[in-house]
Structure 1
Amino acid sequence: MRIVKVNLLIILLATLLVGCHNRTNKNSTSLTGWSSKDKAKAGFSEGKKYKGQQTPPGMVLIEGGTFTMGHVQDDVLFDWNTTPVKMQVRSFFLDETEVTNEEYLFYLEWLEKIFPKSDEQNKHIYTSALPDTLVWRHTLGANELLTENYLRHPSYSDYPVVGVSWRQANEYCKWRSDRVSEKILVDKGIMNNPYLMDSLKLDGNNYFSTDTYLQSPTSLFQGDSSIYKKGIPVRKKKGEKRGARGEFTGRHVKISDGILSPKFRLPSEAEWEFAAKADTENREYNNIRGRKKYAWNGKYTRNKGRRFKGDQVANFKQGRGDYSGPAGWSSDGGDITMSIKSYDPNAYGLYDMSGNVAEWVADVYRPIIDTDANDFNYYRGNVFTKKKIDENGKVVIVDYNTIVFDTLDNGKIVPVDLPGTIKFIPITKRDAFMRNNYEKSYNIDSKDGDLASTKLYDKDEDELESQPRMYNSPIIPNNMGESGLRIQEYDDEYRTTLISDDSRVYKGGSWKDREYWLDPAQRRHLPEYMATSYIGFRCATDKLGAMTPKRRKRTTEKIK
């Protein structure tokens, strides 16, 4: 009897071991039992061995976590717009420096190459991206040298670009997304370098766009297949002829391949503040000790080291008529902006998060950060869109001859969409029907300026237009001329607020600001079409997968 029990126990253990082996077999799925080879033979996609996301060039990984947002040291202006709130931020990548003049000039040169200024239509595309170099002018200042040289002279090549509006910074991020993905495909041998092909003419309808490539690769480069190499290899069936040397015989890249980079964008206000504070250097296990006033540790702006003792650790205005200190003993080394990496980085490896130039962030400005509505990766500014589909069921790609232009409030003419890109339109109420996370496309004024946030919440949207407004008051005239562009005219209505749905947040102090604005929690705003001599920007992109590349090991101790 004892022998029988032992044999039964052995059989049971063997069965469990076999079952565990089957569940952990990497060549098959636990749900269907199909191995990767079986799926490939049948023409299905086989499982990908993803090696992890590569750090984009010039960027630093910011591991996400919880922090106190809006925790300022002082509020001497009584703005009452920095109430401390607890916020969770996801991991993301952020440029280690601001975008420089040299990098932005590459963008301008590319636009000039693809959209030559000799064409009247192209001229507006190029000029819409030009920084406003006249921001250096002052009615009582002699700064013409900077208006003529700051952007293009090589002595300022590694200085942060300024005179860029929020809209221009946002367009740069889109352009950078396409150029990074384009370079990845060229380096992977999936696509030829279009700029080195004599047979290919790059113009307004003929260049690489990531969205268009993913949606309709054959629509790029006017259907010229010579731009592509063999593509992603696919398994050939028995007897199927192999393609000629250099002929496209595979398939195009998909998102599921994990090859292309996520899109670049401006960081959200929460992300920027989290990265600037870099509280990780004050972490003791799972607690943050103390709070930081600047991007660096310490209560003061001067260097404590023996070699540079007394020097400023950031570029900012030190007092009335004092931007650098006395001649021969400059305490910060710059009277205007300075070259990037002139000072030590913060704990995340980010440069000039306090000082040099303030920086645009993605958010629309509101005095209150509404954590009751959302305390996870907070961002105000969502306008949900979808791809436009034509009557034939195909995605609409903007054509060079049908490009639409708009006139901003400051009179600048800008393209609504660039030719060769996919046309996106706002979602409809039908698209959002019976959804519990959003109800409409336009969510910029969600819970702070929309109908639901007023005492007329039970009325119709049209009734709100005739009532006194909290924001966007009054509405700027939108009179169109015969050319189809907006007529430039000043708003002669009595304005009750400077806050509108076009107001964008900018963070951090600059060469023109006093020490007060170096606090990462301070916040200011400007209309998205305006530019100054002290606001620049840097790009961000999302971290895919695990929030940290290395998970902290857990200890498995018995609880007594």
Structure 2
Amino acid sequence: MNRVFMNRIYSAVCLLLVFAIAGCNSSNNFYNAPKVNAFKGGKLPAPPGMVYIPSGTILFKGSLDSGNVGKNISLSAFFIDETEVTNKQYRQFVNWVADSIAVTDYLQDDQYFLEAASEDGEGRRINWKAVKRISPIWRSSDPTIAERIAPMLEMKGSNRGLNPEVVKYRFSYLKTKGNLKKEYVTDTVSVIPAEDIWSKDFPNAQLTSLDANYFTHQSFDFYPVVGVSWRQARAYSDWRGKEMMANLMKNSYLSGYQLTFSLPTEAQWQYAAEGKIDPRDTISGTKLTIDGDDGKEKLAVNYKQGEGTYSRDGATFTLPVKSYTPNKFGVYNMAGNVSEWTLDAYSPSAVAFVNDLNPVLLYDADEDDADALKRKVVRGGSWKDNGEQLNSETRNYSVDYEPHSYIGFRCVMSAFELPTTQSKTRKY
């Protein structure tokens, strides 16, 4: 009897073990991590207009005249615009902001909204399909629309244009004053670039034609936008990040990831500029000339070649953003054409105290702060700078509210690491 009982217990235990093993097999993915293999191709497909920059390490320096030898810093993978932001891209932003204001503040017609009007009239989402049929609204020839949106417009000479005091973009961000204070705030930024910036920057030069046409005429569609302050550039990057995520997350491998979109940090900018796939491919080491049709070498970077000499590179001011040849990462014109805003606040000694992993120096000055606290790092030489400014390590600055005809920008978006042949699973 005891033997029968023990046999039954043994059979029950065996049956439980079978179920337990079967349960383990059914949740195999929970307990058994997959082997690591190198990602084929070595880089992720990039969002439209961007390229993938893998993680890496560079020597990060402070101001060249500070005597600082710099330090090694490492950067996580990210995406960066393959070109500077163009006039056409920035006009899309301006028109989006103008359309939003026209619909919500002036037209207020139900046909342009997804929901019916509530009692307080707040919180309705715009029906962009309906809006895009007449976008940009401020250029509408419909006399009824033109009359209702008249406060948005002003006369610029003999032409009608948008009023910068009305067309503003509202967004929230984490305001940072070093390590002292961090808080979420909402900012409102006028988005119209300073179209007369050419004559303002060069008051004794005949540049009124550029003032009148550079931002608005289609012949300059693919030239880098200029006359945009750091604050405006940050507003654009916020808008573009939201637009890109809304479009990509529906049908994309990026779905579900929380990815940040911003201006590049100066470390990201330097790394992308140096194209470290090949350590020899730095701005200073890259061949900056091409063979011309006449057998002579021609310059392949847009900068000032000497006092009064601008034209030997093929232009006297800016060039289309895909001029010349991209670097090893596939990024265009990190040297020359226009200098570029970065996310960092400027300090000559920043390299001494920023982190050695994804370094950035953030400081959002208040309106009444001194200009010294509003300085932002500008990287890369421009069409009006001499050759020594083309070095990828050269740093400069401008205050965050001040636009120029020689400063543009590009955007970055965070990415994630890819497994490489170095990290793949091997036998012991």
Alpha carbons of structure 1 residues 152 and 17: separation in structure 2 relative to 1, 3 Å: farther
Q: Provide Cα deviations, 1:427-471, integer angstroms capped at 9, x if missing partner.
A: xxxxxxxxxxxxxxxxxxxxxxxxxxxxxxxxxxxxxxxxxxxxx
Secondary structure of the corresponding residue to residue 277 of structure 2: helix
Q: Write the distance in 1 (CA, Å) between the matches of 2:62 and 2:24.
A: 49
Does 2:57 align with 1:66?
yes
1:152 aligns with 216
Q: Write the distance in 1 (CA, Å) between the matches of 2:57 and 2:193.
A: 36
Does 2:291 align with 1:263?
no
2:198 aligns with 136
Structure number having the greater strand percentage: 2
After TM superposition, give the deviation of residue 165 of structure 1 in Å.
Answer: 0.5
Does 2:325 align with 1:344?
yes
Alpha carbons of structure 1 residues 553 and 148: separation in structure 2 relative to 1, 3 Å: same
Does 2:40 align with 1:57?
no
After TM superposition, give the deviation of residue 373 of structure 1 in Å.
Answer: 5.3
TM, length-normalised to structure 1: 0.52
Opposite residue 286 of structure 2, the aligned amino acid is N
Alpha carbons of structure 1 residues 304 and 281: separation in structure 2 relative to 1, 3 Å: farther
Q: Provide Cα deviations, 1:385-414, integer angstroms capped at 9, x if missing partner.
A: xxxxxxxxxxxxxxxxxxxxx9957xxxxx
Does 2:92 align with 1:106?
yes
Residues 198 and 405 in structure 2, CA contact (< 8 A), matched pair in contact too: yes
Query: Percent sequence identity over matched residues?
Result: 32
Q: Write the distance in 1 (CA, Å) between the matches of 2:87 and 2:340.
A: 15
Superposed, 1:365-380 pairs within 5 Å as 365-371=346-352, 374-380=355-361
1:88 aligns with 74
Aligned mate of 2:409, from 533, 537, 540: 537
Q: Write the distance in 1 (CA, Å) between the matches of 2:222 and 2:150.
A: 30
Q: Write the distance in 2 (CA, Å) between the matches of 1:535 and 1:268.
A: 16
Q: Write the distance in 2 (CA, Å) between the matches of 1:352 and 1:128.
A: 28
Report how many aligned residue pairs link the two structures: 324
Opposite residue 84 of structure 1, the aligned amino acid is G
Residues 273 and 282 in structure 2, CA contact (< 8 A), matched pair in contact too: no
2:7 aligns with none
Q: Write the distance in 2 (CA, Å) between the matches of 1:309 and 1:378.
A: 43
Aligned mate of 1:513, from 376, 385, 389: 385
Residues 363 and 504 in structure 1, CA contact (< 8 A), matched pair in contact too: yes
Q: Write the distance in 1 (CA, Å) between the matches of 2:229 and 2:291.
A: 37
Aligned mate of 1:316, from 303, 306, 313: 303
After TM superposition, give the deviation of residue 355 of structure 1 in Å.
Answer: 0.8
1:40 aligns with none
Q: Provide Cα deviations, 1:191-229, integer angstroms capped at 9, x if missing partner.
A: xxxxxxxxxxxxxxxxxxxxxxxxxxxxxxxxxxxxxxx
After TM superposition, give the deviation of residue 503 of structure 1 in Å.
Answer: 0.7
Opposite residue 269 of structure 2, the aligned amino acid is W
1:179 aligns with 243
1:29 aligns with 30
Residues 97 and 167 in structure 2, CA contact (< 8 A), matched pair in contact too: no
After TM superposition, give the deviation of residue 292 of structure 1 in Å.
Answer: 3.2
After TM superposition, give the deviation of residue 70 of structure 1 in Å.
Answer: 2.2
Superposed, 1:213-362 pairs within 5 Å as 258-259=255-256, 262-282=259-279, 292-294=282-284, 297-298=286-287, 301-303=288-290, 309-325=296-312, 332-362=313-343
Alpha carbons of structure 1 residues 344 and 183: separation in structure 2 relative to 1, 3 Å: same
Q: Write the distance in 2 (CA, Å) between the matches of 1:549 and 1:338.
A: 38
Q: Write the distance in 2 (CA, Å) between the matches of 1:382 and 1:17.
A: 62
Residues 361 and 505 in structure 1, CA contact (< 8 A), matched pair in contact too: yes
After TM superposition, give the deviation of residue 71 of structure 1 in Å.
Answer: 8.4
Q: Provide Cα deviations, 1:518-548, integer angstroms capped at 9, x if missing partner.
A: 101000011111111000000001013xx23
1:115 aligns with 101
Q: Write the distance in 2 (CA, Å) between the matches of 1:69 and 1:269.
A: 9
Residues 174 and 263 in structure 1, CA contact (< 8 A), matched pair in contact too: no
Residues 55 and 61 in structure 1, CA contact (< 8 A), matched pair in contact too: yes
Superposed, 1:452-471 pairs within 5 Å as none
Residues 86 and 375 in structure 1, CA contact (< 8 A), matched pair in contact too: yes
Secondary structure of the corresponding residue to residue 318 of structure 1: coil
1:163 aligns with 227
Secondary structure of the corresponding residue to residue 51 of structure 2: strand
Alpha carbons of structure 1 residues 366 and 133: separation in structure 2 relative to 1, 3 Å: same
Q: Write the distance in 1 (CA, Å) between the matches of 2:25 and 2:311.
A: 64
After TM superposition, give the deviation of residue 362 of structure 1 in Å.
Answer: 0.2
Residues 98 and 536 in structure 1, CA contact (< 8 A), matched pair in contact too: yes
Q: Write the distance in 2 (CA, Å) between the matches of 1:21 and 1:353.
A: 58
Q: Write the distance in 2 (CA, Å) between the matches of 1:109 and 1:147.
A: 19
Residues 267 and 539 in structure 1, CA contact (< 8 A), matched pair in contact too: yes
Opposite residue 309 of structure 2, the aligned amino acid is D
RMSD: 3.6
Q: Provide Cα deviations, 1:49-90, integer angstroms capped at 9, x if missing partner.
A: xxx975211110000111111289xx5xxx317642111111
Q: Write the distance in 2 (CA, Å) between the matches of 1:61 and 1:156.
A: 27
Q: Write the distance in 1 (CA, Å) between the matches of 2:213 and 2:323.
A: 21
Q: Write the distance in 2 (CA, Å) between the matches of 1:268 and 1:522.
A: 14
After TM superposition, give the deviation of residue 113 of structure 1 in Å.
Answer: 0.6
Structure number having the greater helix percentage: 2
Residues 302 and 309 in structure 1, CA contact (< 8 A), matched pair in contact too: no
1:548 aligns with 418
2:136 aligns with none
Alpha carbons of structure 1 residues 261 and 351: separation in structure 2 relative to 1, 3 Å: farther
Q: Write the distance in 1 (CA, Å) between the matches of 2:388 and 2:401.
A: 26
Q: Write the distance in 2 (CA, Å) between the matches of 1:382 and 1:19.
A: 57
Alpha carbons of structure 1 residues 557 and 168: separation in structure 2 relative to 1, 3 Å: same
Alpha carbons of structure 1 residues 516 and 372: separation in structure 2 relative to 1, 3 Å: same
Secondary structure of the corresponding residue to residue 225 of structure 2: coil
After TM superposition, give the deviation of residue 25 of structure 1 in Å.
Answer: 5.6
Higher relative contact order (CA 8 A, sep 6+): 2
Residues 336 and 382 in structure 2, CA contact (< 8 A), matched pair in contact too: yes
Residues 408 and 529 in structure 1, CA contact (< 8 A), matched pair in contact too: no
Residues 227 and 404 in structure 2, CA contact (< 8 A), matched pair in contact too: yes
Alpha carbons of structure 1 residues 542 and 147: separation in structure 2 relative to 1, 3 Å: same
Secondary structure of the corresponding residue to residue 278 of structure 2: helix
Q: Which runs of 5+ in 1 are unaligned?
A: 1-15, 32-51, 189-256, 283-289, 326-331, 384-405, 410-474, 477-497
Q: Write the distance in 1 (CA, Å) between the matches of 2:427 and 2:249.
A: 48
Alpha carbons of structure 1 residues 112 and 27: separation in structure 2 relative to 1, 3 Å: farther
TM, length-normalised to structure 2: 0.67
Residues 78 and 413 in structure 2, CA contact (< 8 A), matched pair in contact too: yes
Q: Write the distance in 2 (CA, Å) between the matches of 1:272 and 1:172.
A: 18
